[in-house]
Amino acid sequence: MTLSPGVLFDIDGTLLDTNYLHVIAWWRAFRDTGHREVDMASVHHSIGLSSHELVERLVGSDDEATVEAHSSRFDEIREGAEALAGAADLVRACAKSGRTPVLATSAKASDLEWMLPLIGAEDAISGVTSSADVESSKPAPEIFELAMRENDLDPERTIVVGDTVWDIHAAKNAGLPCIALTCGGISEAELRDAGAVEVYADPRDLLANLDTSALGEQT
Residue 29 exposed, middle or buried by CB count within 10 Å (0-12, 13-18, 19+): buried
Q: What is the pLDDT of residue 179?
A: 98
Domain boundaries, the chain: 4-17+82-216, 19-80
The one-digit pLDDT tens for each residue of the chain (219 residues) are 799 999 999 999 999 999 999 999 999 999 999 999 999 999 999 999 989 999 999 999 989 999 999 999 999 999 999 999 999 999 999 999 999 999 999 888 888 999 999 999 999 999 999 888 888 889 999 999 999 999 999 999 999 999 999 999 999 999 999 999 999 999 999 999 999 999 999 999 999 999 999 998 755
Helix or strand holding residue 151 (H, E): none
Peptide bond into 101 cis (omega under 30): no
User: pTM for the whole thing?
Assistant: 0.95
Q: What is the pLDDT of residue 137?
A: 86
Q: In this structure, are residues 84 and 17 in contact, taking their beta carbons and an 8 Å threshold?
A: yes
Q: What is the pLDDT of residue 203?
A: 98
Q: What is the pLDDT of residue 31?
A: 98
Q: What is the pLDDT of residue 135?
A: 86
Q: Which CATH number fits domain 4-17+82-216: 2.60.120.10, 3.90.1150.10, 3.30.420.40, 3.40.50.1000?
A: 3.40.50.1000
At residue 97, φ and ψ (nearest 5 deg) are -80, -10
Q: What is the pLDDT of residue 106?
A: 85
Q: What is the pLDDT of residue 217?
A: 76
